[in-house]
Structure 1
Amino acid sequence: MDIILKQDVKNLGEKDEVVKVKAGYGRNFLIPQGYGILATESARKVLAENLKQAQFKQDKIRKDADEVAARLEGVKLTIGAKAGESGKIFGAVNTIQVADALKNQGFDVDRRRITFNEDPKFVGEYTATLNLHKEVKVQVPFEVVAE
């Protein structure tokens, strides 16, 4: 019996995958629990169309991420923070401050997509990694200066 999975099932398959299972497992567990539907000819056509549309959307998102990555090349940020005489910052620079600095430069990047190679706790130069897409990552240098 062929089943189209509606969500990921551990040790069986991932969402939108057609899997071959025993008839009892499909009829008595997967279909009633909402994990899958019977893979009829019409369901396979609907699945193919949905996958085609999803691929188109993913290509558009990837293209947009590539454009933003190209615009981010050469951008250098300056972030002000209160620091002591030794150059140690009171607290640390976080992703919200980097996202705000990017917004001031005209880039709208979600703060949850920003990571640091090392935590900026001193005045100096650092690098932030922006995860624009699962395949598109951009390194953006930024400088922490004392206010």
Structure 2
Amino acid sequence: MEIILLEDVKALGKKGQKVTVNDGYARNFILPKKLGIEATAKNLNDLKLKKANEEKKAQEILEEAKAFAAEMKDKVVVVSLKAGNGGKTFGSISTKEIAQAAKEQLNYDIDKKKMHLADPIKAIGNYIVQVKLHPKVTGELTVKVQEL
């Protein structure tokens, strides 16, 4: 019997896959537990439409991420850091402060975990911070650190 899996089944297949199984296995395990449905023409067509819709949504999300990355590239976030004589700073700036400043200044809601800083910023100047917006899109945000 051919089955379309509705969930991942260990040692059988992934969600959305069409697999062939014994009739008893299908009737006694897969169908009662709602792990799959019978592969009729209607169900196969529904699966095809569902996959096309998911691909369309994924493409829209990718386009939004690319547009946001292009918009973000031109923006500058200003963060102040307390400094003493000779430009020596007290403390550092982490992704948490950058995310908070981006929210206040640019109204961008960026997750601090998506930002990549090799080390916390400990000096005054301009820095480029990598922001992971999508698995395929990484944006750049310019952070200007000035003396408080």
Tell me if both proteins adopt one fold, taking TM over 0.5 as the criterion. Answer: yes
- Structure 1 residue matching 2:119: 3-state secondary structure: coil
Greater Cα offset, 43-52 or 135-144: 135-144
Count how many residue pairs are aligned between Structure 1 and Structure 2: 145
Are the equivalent residues in 2 in contact too, given 1:114–1:128 (CA < 8 A)?
Answer: no
TM-score (norm 1): 0.76
Instruction: Determine the structure 2 residue equivalent to 1:133.
Output: 134
- Structure 2 residue matching 1:4: 3-state secondary structure: strand
Are residues 1:57 and 2:57 paired? yes
Instruction: Determine the structure 2 residue equivalent to 1:35.
Output: 35
CA distance in 2, matches of 1:64, 1:83: 39
- Structure 1 residue matching 2:103: 3-state secondary structure: helix
TM-score (norm 2): 0.75
Query: Structure 1 76/6 Cα, relative in aligned 2: closer, same or farther at 3 Å?
Result: same
RMSD between superposed Cα atoms in Å: 2.8
Instruction: Determine the structure 1 residue equivalent to 2:72.
Output: 72
Query: Structure 1 77/46 Cα, relative in aligned 2: closer, same or farther at 3 Å?
Result: same
Instruction: Determine the structure 2 residue equivalent to 1:5.
Output: 5
Please state how far the C-alpha of 1:135 moved relative to its aligned partner.
Answer: 1.3
CA distance in 1, matches of 2:106, 2:89: 29
The one-letter amino acid of 1:74's match is D
Instruction: Determine the structure 2 residue equivalent to 1:23.
Output: 23
CA distance in 2, matches of 1:62, 1:29: 38
- Structure 2 residue matching 1:3: 3-state secondary structure: strand
Q: Which has the larger radius of gyration?
A: 2
The one-letter amino acid of 1:72's match is M
The one-letter amino acid of 2:79's match is I
Which residue of the other structure, out of 88, 91, 102, is the alignment partner of 1:89?
91
* Structure 2 unpaired stretches of 5+: none
Are the equivalent residues in 1 in contact too, given 2:3–2:20 (CA < 8 A)?
Answer: yes
Please state how far the C-alpha of 1:45 moved relative to its aligned partner.
Answer: 0.9
Q: What is the percentage of aligned positions where both structures have the same residue?
A: 29
